[in-house]
Structure 1
């Protein structure tokens, strides 16, 4: 049994602000409740919601830690009531509602997945948030299936690179948009079928050209705002539009007759505030359908760079710059 200290190092900003508020402080080690495990964190993934939380724009849901961090990987060191004690000592990655930027973090056992030998802890920590998000939105809400062509914005983001990887595994033709020719090249190297520089080309016209005017079966959109009506123009008949973020604004004006004529479906979701039971069901589905690819080494996250916990501010500064390709990860000792 690993000796568990009373306190730990964590990032828990006292106030909202820029990356400079991310300073390591001492916090009590959390205690796992019923149905939870305590993980000694080896690595924690960084995601856009962490940035919004840091800025004071995305408060944690009720009951979640104020410590940011939505995905972790490490070793189980203690279990709560109702959890098999045999899990102690097992390497796990997990989707959590917060608390990841710390040396220890509690996670619902239903949201944990075993870390196979094919992954490093850094790679394992970079999987849960984007994998759960892309799986639930592109494959479940948008019903993307083998042979479909899909459009994904933010092609070199964590979400974009995961969508490309899953698309390749499950027979999708993935078109992405990126903000520079260099990022387009990176997206193509990662496995996108087509990459459109949205600063030099009209992505609506490019999608029409690429698809011969047929359009895409689905659009995965994190931009919102004025992208939404343009996205709808990219969709084929019976196409599906899924919103997962609103970086360009929460409101859009759409042409309703286009929705009617093409029989389009507009949907969207958030993940962090969803119920434990829902996220556990997603974990079960991912364990069955995706995890065999992970175990076989066919699915790995794209890692941009790795930082220590004490350098979390530098990691967020890189995310703020938009220069990253793939995931940023904190390695925690």
Structure 2
């Protein structure tokens, strides 16, 4: 199928604040081998989008320069070799870029059917956070039933997803957040104890809650500022999984001795550079193990607000305040 009409998309006029984004017109992307083109009805807003807009997160060489890593909508074109998706399917997907647009090309191995009863807005809130949490918390850190986990940034899109999934799979969940309201939201989602990091020391709380043992796993998006304290809060044979550096990437006074003494594992990853095969494997596990939970209502995306496409700058301003609980979604319908 040939797509030749123009589309609206978010153009960057340079790097900087939200005002460098503007709506522009451009050609609809054509599907490459193994790709599908989705007519986008809704798109998620994520921290990597803000970093890319600011000039701190360049896209991979083969990715669209257009912002946006998750979309939901209708498949309108298929690339060569695509056999498991058909035109007209309603899907959400993890894009390598290009999501802030009316049409987005993405690998067929990174799309999933809408969960039953889901619309585009709810479906668009799934890919980025669910791929990230599944890969880092379950595949890499190996969190299993009966273990304990501390999730930093518990009220974020990643955090609200991680709390629910960890709880659904039988873990004891703790979380940090920056206000009473956010802590309450974390506990409502399944955290045994939410820690207001502005008023409490999460290391002391974790040790008190676990009888001095610590937690088995920590999912961290702060980085350097929390590195030593995270090691202190881990139990023997625990794992620290780092997925972002909101508190810096260079831990200049890192104390590495707890890694040896407690036999700790420190790991981390970013999703965007992973290969198509790796992302397909994550997709397959989500489809088999997580999508049934979504369809049963045992897990659901937390959506803070939905903004029209032309308010993309406002969406980024909101993301940068960190005042939201859950996901920020752009509605292109």
Q: What is residue 326 of structure 2 aligned with on the other side?
A: 326
Post-superposition shift, 1:86? 6.1
Distance across 2 between alignment mates of 1:92 and 1:86 = 9
The 5 A counterparts of 1:138-287 are 138-252=137-251, 253-287=253-287
Q: What CA distance in whole angstroms lies between the structure 2 residues aligned with 1:319 and 1:257? A: 36
Indicate conservation of the 8 Å contact 2:13/2:22, yes or no. Answer: no
The 5 Å alignment of 1:83-162 reads: 83-84=82-83, 87-162=86-161
Could you tell me how far apart the structure 1 residues matched to 2:16 and 2:316 are? 11
**What do the CA deviations read for 1:248-271 (whole angstroms, capped 9, x no partner)?**
111123323221111111111111
Which residue matches 2:310? 310
Q: CA deviation at 1:298?
A: 2.3
Question: What secondary structure is seen at the aligned counterpart in 2 of 1:239?
Answer: strand
Q: CA deviation at 1:107?
A: 1.1
Q: Which residue of 1 aligns with 2:7?
A: 8
- Give the deviation of 1:208 after TM superposition: 0.5
8 Å contact kept, 1:40–1:74:
yes
CA distance in 1, matches of 2:312, 2:268: 30
Q: CA deviation at 1:175?
A: 0.6
- List alignment gaps of at least 5 residues for structure 1: none
Give the distance between the partners of 1:285 and 1:302, measured in 2 at CA. Answer: 21
Change (3 A) 1:7 1:235: same
Aligned counterpart, 1:38: 37
Shift of 1:197: 0.6
TM-score by length of 1: 0.97
> Is this contact kept in 1: 2:161–2:301, CA < 8 A?
yes
TM superposition shift of 1:5 = 5.1
Distance 2:192 2:25 in 1: 47
In structure 1, how many angstroms separate the alpha carbons of the residues matched to 2:229 and 2:107?
Answer: 39
| 2:160–2:189 contact (8 Å) kept in structure 1 | yes
How far does the alpha carbon of each residue in 1:217-257 deviate from its partner, in whole angstroms, 9 at most, with x for none? 00111001120110000000100011111111111233232
Unaligned 5+ residue runs, structure 2?
A: none
Deviations 1:108-148 (A, max 9, x none): 00011011322121111110100010011011111100011
Q: Distance in 2 between matches of 1:290 and 1:184?
A: 25
Deviation for aligned residue 1:4 = 4.6
Q: Give me the whole-angstrom Cα distance separating, in 1, the residues matched to 2:85 and 2:139.
A: 33
What is the alpha-carbon distance in structure 1 between the residues aligned to residue 120 and residue 143 of structure 2? Answer: 30
CA distance in 2, matches of 1:256, 1:15: 40
Taking a change above 3 Å as real, the CA distance of residues 213 and 45 of structure 1, as seen in their structure-2 partners, is same
Shift of 1:57: 0.6
Moved more, 224-233 or 77-86: 77-86
Structure 1 distance, partners of 2:16, 2:5, is: 29
CA pair 5-332 structure 1, distance change in 2 beyond 3 A: farther
